[in-house]
Amino acid sequence: MPKMKTHKSTAKRFKYTGSGKLMRTKIGKSHLRRRKSKRVKYQFDSMLEVTSDGAKKRVQKLIPYAKKGK
């Protein structure tokens, strides 16, 4: 059976933490940043946990070889 292909844009947007949580980047990070306040732009740097079970399953199919943590 051939190897599964990793969806590259998904691999860039999602990361697993050491404890196994799936983290995502925030939207609106790169477009029209000049009009946003410094505080808002700083908050774009943090990542959020993916809480939806359906979204987790979909991402796991797209990045099958990502390290899942513990």
Render pLDDT for 8-66 as a digit per residue (tens, 0 to 9).
999 999 999 999 999 998 888 888 888 999 999 898 888 999 999 999 999 999 999 99
30-67-55 Cα angle (round to 5): 60
- Banded model confidence at residue 70, pLDDT cuts 50, 70, 90: low
Higher-confidence residue: 70 or 27? 27
Predicted TM-score of the model (pTM): 0.77
**Domain boundaries in the chain?**
8-27+34-62
The total of other beta-carbon atoms located within 10 Å of residue 59's CB is: 20
Confidence of residue 67 (pLDDT cuts 50, 70, 90): confident
